[in-house]
Structure 1
Amino acid sequence: MKINRFLCLLSIILTYGCSSENPDSSNISVDSLYFPENNSTVWEKESPSNLGWNDAELQPLLDFLQQKNSKSFMILHKGKIVVEAYFNGHKTQSLWYWASAGKTLTSTVSGIAQDEGFINITNKVSDYLGNGWTSAPLDKENLITCKNLLSMDSGLDDSLGDNVAKENLQYLADAGTRWAYHNVYVKMQDVVATASGMDWSTYFNTRLKDKLGMSGAWIQNGDFSVYWSDTRSMARFGLMILAKGLWKDTRIVSETYLQEATNTSQDINKSYGYLWWLNGKASYHLPSLQTEFQGPLIPNAPNDMYAALGKNDQKIYIVPSKDLVIVRMGDTADGVNFALSTFDNDLWGKINAFIGL
């Protein structure tokens, strides 16, 4: 086992290089960021007026959020709370589901497992789960790498529902040739658990949740294991991502991996990384469709913004150029959706008026 881990780690070093620095990273200085203490309700705040933002546009933003069935909303600037609002009986300690915004938790923990030498995302999924984890012909199954699961281009048939039992994982196209939003990504949790020798929740808690002081738990709901937490925990996760994988002076996940995860991961959907949605690209695809749409994902948002997007408008927006983390939890704003909705662009119009972007 130690030899296998050494070889895996050596392969990662040869593939990605020894340095965790990336010349294309944003110019965020982690030293300038504020981090709240773990197990504390104290979180420093910043006044919008001190940032030169338009105070007169805050109430229209909050009114819009309430009208659109929001339960909570936060804006962090350099880690400090500028806006924290709760609606419709929701409170600071109230728990809510992340839905598919929680895919980014799986992406991040996969990066941690790679950093620790347990996995290499360029390896076949069957290297960890064994042959026959799908119903695809063996030669086609062996084309599917962990990176394909993270990039949503496994080639498995997405029309067969969200249950990831073997009989539902059937071949449709060669891995890497077709992008489709598919629950099969959750097999990365099995990969991490098998490779680490821990169950998924234990590995997640010890490597991510506990280090960031997050609340919450994974709760099984039908075919999905969904993460639930309070709003501040979602903001803590977003802040760690903004900080390029650091929490205070502790490295959570490598900057190199995050740089890959938050950039285009394949040639089909330019606006998708490793389970992260990316703004500012020339085109994008949407869940359940094979149509390519021209233009950026969210025209009103900054081009460098990337996002965790979940069903019924669960949102984490990260904007490195503006030192921003923005979180929205709640019921669907306008209609059932699986990730992107018209609410994203409308919300960013309100945010722009407030922040002055």
Structure 2
Amino acid sequence: MKTLKMIGFTSLFIVLIIIFYNAPKLKLISGFAAKNLASSFFIANRSEDYTNKTDNSSPLIKLANSKINLKEKIATSNVWGFAKEKAVYRDGIGAILVNKDTVLTDDYLKPNRNLTSIPLPYPYGNLPAKDTIFNNVDYQLLNNVINNSFVGDYKNKPKNTRSLIVLYKGQIIAEKYADGFDKNSLLQGWSITKSLLTTCFGILEKDGDFDINQPITAFSDWLKDDRKNITTSQLLRMESGLEWEENYSTICDVTKMLFKDNDLTKRPLSKKQTSPAETVFNYSSGTSNILSALLRKQFNTHQEYLDFPYQEFIDKIGMHSMLMETDIMGNYVASSYSWATTRDWAKFGQLMLNDGIWNGEQIVSKKWVNYITTPNKTSNNEYGGHWWLNKGDYMPNVPKDCFYADGFQGQRIFVIPSKELVVVRFGVTELNRTEFYTMFDHLLKTICKSIQ
């Protein structure tokens, strides 16, 4: 009996040691699960059970026990009863992680929206899309390509595609959704949010209110060291030289920022410049949140900042389903958190395909579209201005003028000007370039007669 007790005590001691040394990682797991569940449930109207079995089902995140409190509009999560985290939903600005010291009130600011329906067919308005048939499109083959993007496995895992839409010459030629999803389903953009935020600087640039090539003077601490020479363009191109670790498998800058910090701009703003600007390409979600802070500095009030993306861009092109989430301090989480329907995400791609013009109005300049699609100096033709590029022929079966917004788990908005195409894919499987250029190889063959 004594031996059994000793074994029991020893086992318990070992478990407690393991928990103690992994407590920070467990809190990140709980934080991700709680935040993800709150947003999925309250923004996208997906059930607690569905979210926990799908979006929160990755090898570590599935360790979390996550639940919804509908009355209080919160999601809570823990791992084996430890590392408890809570996310609170607030209408108009999304879900945020909170701790015991967080004080939230009901009189928070949220964006003013103009949700007036635009009386034009999709994509330029909110009326049904035109029933357009193109003689040069092999629709049977096209449908086979689209269907194959939903079935089968990728690297021994189900593809888990949730939606796929193809716009050709501004018209829908293919659209498909997984069971339980449709054209009204909201889907999270993750890092596509980075490309959304960049558009705001394009608007400022067009109006002559901002010069992205001038050193940033908005952050007083930066003026005391080499950071005083960093330009907005260098941030947009992810080559500012600022220190940042982006590794979601460990405790590092990005995971601390997203699942620990109240102000998601503070940590990246505190980072030092460890390399001269324009010498190193360092993909950084922290940089995108610095840009969010910089955007906020352009306005006299918090309300003006919150309204700007919607009034000058999002609602103007009829992306009325869009919701950009903020942190506790009211900063847009430009690195990661935005939601919209697949059709509305495609509108964003169509705006870029149109060189920034929407229904006759220049939202961003053609010069801006050229800027975001011009490679930076340090990424071997892979990255432009918060958009990914194919100029380095990374997807060999895809035209080199293709550029795309890229988010976690295979969220993509592809724009191919030479083919007049916008292709949007959302899901929960981390597809890589190989899977996408294989899809494009087949897709382009279905519409090859007049566009080669």
Give the TM-score category using the shorter length: 0.7 to 0.9
Q: Structure 2 unaligned runs (5+)?
A: 1-120, 153-158, 246-251, 258-264
Structure 2 residue 359 is the aligned partner of structure 1 residue 251 = no
List per-residue Cα deviations over 1:126-166 (Å, max 9, x = no partner): x1x22215xxx833211211001100001111225122424
Aligned to 1:293: none
Aligned to 1:30: none
List per-residue Cα deviations over 1:217-271 (Å, max 9, x = no partner): 1124897551100011111111111110000111101111111111113244322
**Given the superposition, is the C-alpha separation of residues 242 and 193 from structure 1 closer, same or farther in structure 2, using an over 3 Å criterion?**
same
Aligned to 2:438: 346
| SS of residue matched to 2:179 | coil
C-alpha separation between the residues in 2 aligned to 1:130 and 1:74? Answer: 41
| Correspondent of 1:65 among 145, 150, 153 | 150
**Given the superposition, is the C-alpha separation of residues 240 and 60 from structure 1 closer, same or farther in structure 2, using an over 3 Å criterion?**
closer
Query: Shift of the alpha carbon at 1:61?
Result: 3.1
CA RMSD of aligned residues (A): 2.3
**Given the superposition, is the C-alpha separation of residues 66 and 113 from structure 1 closer, same or farther in structure 2, using an over 3 Å criterion?**
farther
**Given the superposition, is the C-alpha separation of residues 323 and 341 from structure 1 closer, same or farther in structure 2, using an over 3 Å criterion?**
closer
| SS of residue matched to 1:327 | strand
| Correspondent of 2:178 among 87, 93, 99 | 87
Structure-1-length-normalised TM-score: 0.77
Q: Is the 8 A contact 1:97 1:227 kept in 2?
A: yes
For the pair shown, the structure with the greater C-alpha radius of gyration is 2
| SS of residue matched to 1:158 | coil
Aligned to 2:230: 144
C-alpha separation between the residues in 2 aligned to 1:194 and 1:115? Answer: 18
| SS of residue matched to 1:233 | helix
| Correspondent of 1:46 among 123, 132, 138 | 132
**Given the superposition, is the C-alpha separation of residues 280 and 265 from structure 1 closer, same or farther in structure 2, using an over 3 Å criterion?**
closer
| Correspondent of 1:197 among 290, 300, 305 | 300
Query: Shift of the alpha carbon at 1:43?
Result: 1.4
Q: Is the 8 A contact 1:313 1:332 kept in 2?
A: yes
Q: Is the 8 A contact 1:271 1:277 kept in 2?
A: yes
2:284 alignment partner AA: H
Count residues with an aligned counterpart: 298
C-alpha separation between the residues in 2 aligned to 1:53 and 1:90? Answer: 26
Q: Is the 8 A contact 2:191 2:406 kept in 1?
A: yes
C-alpha separation between the residues in 1 aligned to 2:277 and 2:391? Answer: 26
Query: Shift of the alpha carbon at 1:57?
Result: 4.6
Return the structure number with greater relative CO, CA threshold 8 A, min gap 6.
1
C-alpha separation between the residues in 1 aligned to 2:128 and 2:183? Answer: 12
Q: Is the 8 A contact 1:97 1:226 kept in 2?
A: yes
Structure 2 residue 312 is the aligned partner of structure 1 residue 312 = no
Q: For residues 264-279 of structure 1, what are the structure 2 equivalents within 5 Å?
A: 264-279=375-390
Aligned to 1:9: none
Q: Is the 8 A contact 1:155 1:177 kept in 2?
A: yes
2:278 alignment partner AA: G
Query: Shift of the alpha carbon at 1:44?
Result: 1.6
| SS of residue matched to 2:405 | strand
Structure 2 residue 189 is the aligned partner of structure 1 residue 98 = yes
2:310 alignment partner AA: N
Aligned to 2:372: 261
Query: Shift of the alpha carbon at 1:37?
Result: 4.3
Q: Structure 1 unaligned runs (5+)?
A: 1-33, 282-295, 335-339
Query: Shift of the alpha carbon at 1:70?
Result: 0.8
Structure 2 residue 232 is the aligned partner of structure 1 residue 131 = no
List per-residue Cα deviations over 1:58-111 (Å, max 9, x = no partner): 224313334421111111111111011111311111101111122111111111
| Correspondent of 1:78 among 146, 169, 176 | 169
| SS of residue matched to 1:91 | coil
